[in-house]
Amino acid sequence: MKGYGDSLRGYGHATHVKYNFKCQYCGYDGRAFPNWFQLTVDHILPKGHGGANEDANKITVCHACNSITSRMEFDLRLTPDEIIELKRARVKDRQSEYFEFWREHVSPLYLKEWEVL
Ligand SMILES: [Zn+2]
């Protein structure tokens, strides 16, 4: 995409089109503007592990999932699909941990607001 060097408007756009603007780790729908703004490109096999900077190694993920999976280590014998499954499992585990915090510390704040209304 001429003139844009970032992942949303530039090199990542074709990847996001390929994956229908949907996070491949958590299912986040990135089609609407505020959500699209949270999309990133992940290298399935990280570049630090020797992953290629090629389309076949690129996948659309949301910012949160990219962050959650950013420091994972991988056996280089794994296939891309196996790596994706490991990353999805990490995201699912992390979401469960965050959900517990949200349920205990965030949702009660809204429940109080709703009781006042
Ligand atoms: Zn995600």
In this predicted structure, what is the pLDDT of residue 91?
98
* Structure-token pair, residue 17: 């089109």
DSSP state letter for 48: G
**Percent of the chain beyond pLDDT 90?**
82
Q: Please tell me the distance between residue 108's alpha carbon and the centre of ligand 1 in angstroms.
A: 25
Determine the distance separating the centroid of ligand 1 and the alpha carbon of 24, expressed in angstroms.
7
Domain range for 84: 13-116
Confidence at residue 9, expressed as pLDDT on a 0 to 100 scale = 93
Return the bridge partners of 62, or none. Answer: 39
CA of 39 to the centre of ligand 1 (A): 8
Closest to 90 measured CA to CA, from 71, 104, 76? 71
Q: From ligand 1's centre to the CA of 23, what distance in Å?
A: 5
Domains in the chain, number? 1
Mean pLDDT of 51-78: 95
Interval 9-58: pLDDT, tens: 999 999 999 999 999 999 999 999 999 999 999 999 999 889 999 999 99
Judge whether 7 lies within some domain: no
Note whether residue 6 is domain-resident.
no
This prediction has a pTM of 0.88
